[in-house]
A and B are shown apart, each in its own frame.
Chain A
Amino acid sequence: MTDNLVESNTSPVLREAHAADGTRVLELMGAWNLRNLKASLRTLDPGLKAYAADPTLHWNMQGIAELDNAGALLLWHAWGRHSPENLTLRPEHIGLFDRLNTLSETTLPHSPHDLLTPVILLGKRTLSVADHVQGFIALLGQLALDIAHLARRPMLIPWREISANLYRTGAQALAITGLLGFLIGVVLSYLFSKQLRIFGADIFIINILGISILRELGPVIAAVLVAGRSGSSMTAQLGVMRVTQELDALAVMGIPYSVRLILPKVVALSISLPLLVLWTDATALLGGALAAKVQLDIGVLHFMNQLPDAVPIANLWLGVGKGMTFGFLIALIACLFGLRILPNTQSLAAGTTNSVVTSITIVLLVDAVFAVVFSDVGV
């Protein structure tokens, strides 16, 4: 009379039987909860659906020891989203099915597919860029106001913060910028000297290295490194301070965070980046001179002596000027993105990435502008 499908103490059991009056009865036993269903869910589901196809079948669920929402849902789905006609339940399980039966039919909010999505996305991007430009200008204005305010009350100038930022962005970056500058100097010198030797123009290594390093490579390498190193940390710091309401705490104490947090960063980076540019120039030239000694047998002292004659000093000032501009821009962009971070982890990650990518892009763009504007200077 009975045929077992599954037999175990705790796992869900189905047993088909016939009542005295001849109606088919399906007895459900065991624990119908998520933990015990995990293993047998895939095998149970088709069987249940087959049973549910028979509307006269009597479902006897009094033998179920444990039933939870997942188990109830499995049965409810098999029944076609409503309870069957002939159903015997334990009283404590009635609530579970009532809950399912009264579950509102409204579906979850679902973002519709739209053919215009690319256009909308493009529009949103454009507006976002415009928004960032506006924010940048507003921040610039705020900075100008702060500087005017501090000029009248010099005692309010945040010296400690400026000094701390100088140390973090400048002194602590000396090792990495120095190392990278030196290596690039060596690499360039090797490459150039090979070419120059073909034409017997060995001595021009000094001109080429001097101009390229002082005018372009020094400022750009230092700026890219600092954008990655200090720009990201500035964005993350401001972002986390916004998320943890530290910025709000400063504001309610009457401490303007633009003066305490943004101004010191911008001022410090505008000072430390040109100094780092000088340092990177020096190590790159040293690397270049050492490589030239090895490759072309041009003495290091001779190299240094010839340098002022070969390269007009204007190139050095141009490089330092670029460093100052880049430092100013990197700090301002980092602060702009930091202040726009939303209180969630993804926004923090995206904001930091965008900050670094944007500041490096802007640095290279501005570098191109410098190249065009100062094309007659120093060459």
Chain B
Amino acid sequence: MTDKPCIIEIDGLWTQYGDTVVLEDVNLCVHYGEVLALVGGSGSGKTTLLRHILGLETPSRGTVKVFGVSLHEGDPRSRVDLRNRWGVLFQGGALYSALTVFDNIALPLRELHVLDEASIRTLVRLKLDMVQIELKHADKMPAELSGGMVKRVALARALALEPELLLLDEPTAGLDPDLSDSFVKLIGDLRKELSFTVVMVTHDIDTLFALSDRIAVLANRRLVATGPLKNVMQLDHPFIRKFFAGRMAVAGA
């Protein structure tokens, strides 16, 4: 595994707000093509780590490289290009509330300034088709959508630019088990079709089992384990034991 190149490379990352240390010496490599799940208790710094990967936070120490490009130094042009190569699904969807579903998905495509309107329309229809949203909903405002639909539209928007890397923040939070299963299946199917790398933050054990190739466990501000799910589950760490307590029996049976 280690010989593959890293799509995301985090090296000695520290985050500190005043006297509060949020992340302590985090090192992580996400390989091309894999699905890495980031798990950890509330307040363990999962979301902060994801925000670092997205370049929304500046590290106190250490570096974060995505596609081999550092997020905080170097040529601004390449850092902008980098943002066209990933798609992000925020926890609450973060759809632009003033734009319709169609315009939300069309926005990143229009911002490229190379595609004509007819192509954009077809591409948006394709994306809606992919996430199984009917065309009649395209004219709706985000406020008129149900929680599950918001997630799917946000996923369509994240996929608009054909990303090589998809970042998901709690993809199934707030969805009922049925919707959550179908959303996980949707991501799995799309991944087979479009072969992107996925990094996701999740609490949901079902999602972990269904999607992830490897998991990274954050506890007490540090990355305590990384590896395939099976190996991590064997580890003797209080957080890991508690986290998988319900599932151990099932997996062992």
Contact = CB atoms under 8 A, between A and B. Distances in A.
Contacts of A342: 143
B78 interface: no
Interface in A100-118: 100, 103-104, 106, 108-109
A104 B98 CA distance: 27
B122 interface: yes
A312 B193 CA distance: 85
A35 B193 contact: no
A265 to B, nearest CB: 26
Given A35-B85, A38-B114, A74 B119 contact: yes
Contacts of B84: 35
Given A34-B162, A345-B97, A73 B114 contact: no
B173 interface: no
Interface string A13-46: 0000000000000000000011101100110000
A99 interface: yes
Q: Which of B85, B96, B122 has the most CB of A within 10 A?
A: B122
Interface in A340-354: 342-346
B81 to A, nearest CB: 8
B45 to A, nearest CB: 26
Contact of B98 (A41, A70, A108, A344): A344
Interface in B123-137: 123, 125-127, 129-130, 135-136
B183 interface: no
Interface in B91-149: 96-98, 102, 112, 114-115, 118-119, 121-123, 125-127, 129-130, 135-136, 138-139, 141-143
A68 B196 CA distance: 11
Contact of B97 (A33, A99, A100, A343): A343
B127 to A, nearest CB: 8
A11 interface: no
A103 B98 contact: no
A69 interface: yes
B248 interface: no
A73 B129 contact: no
Contacts, number: 66
A344 B126 contact: no
A325 B119 CA distance: 58
Contacts of A33: 162
Contacts of B22: none
B114 A344 contact: no
A103 B114 contact: no
A328 B143 CA distance: 32
Contact of A346 (B85, B97, B138, B162): B97
A95 interface: yes
A150 B138 CA distance: 48
Given A343-B143, A345-B98, A346-B97, A69 B121 contact: no
Contacts of B112: 34, 38
A35 B193 CA distance: 18
A343 B141 CA distance: 10
B97 A103 contact: no
A344 B142 contact: yes
Contacts of A132: none
Contacts of B175: none
A103 to B, nearest CB: 6
B106 to A, nearest CB: 10
B115 A70 contact: yes
A75 to B, nearest CB: 12
A109 B162 CA distance: 25
A354 to B, nearest CB: 16
A73 B162 contact: no
Contacts of A260: none
Nearest to A33: B162
Given A41-B114, A108-B102, A345-B98, A70 B162 contact: yes
Contact of B126 (A74, A99, A346): A99
Interface in A49-73: 68-70, 73
Contacts of B118: 77
B194 interface: yes
Interface of A: 33-35, 37-38, 41-42, 68-70, 73-74, 77, 95, 99-100, 103-104, 106, 108-109, 342-346
Interface of B: 84-85, 96-98, 102, 112, 114-115, 118-119, 121-123, 125-127, 129-130, 135-136, 138-139, 141-143, 161-162, 193-194
| 5 interchain residue pairs of minimum CB distance | A344-B97, A346-B98, A68-B162, A343-B143, A109-B139
Given A103-B126, A108-B121, A344-B141, 16 more contacts: A35-B84, A42-B114, A69-B123, A70-B115, A73-B119, A73-B123, A73-B126, A77-B118, A77-B122, A99-B130, A106-B135, A108-B135, A108-B139, A109-B135, A344-B143, A346-B98
9 contacts: A35-B85, A69-B127, A70-B115, A95-B193, A100-B126, A109-B135, A109-B138, A109-B139, A345-B96
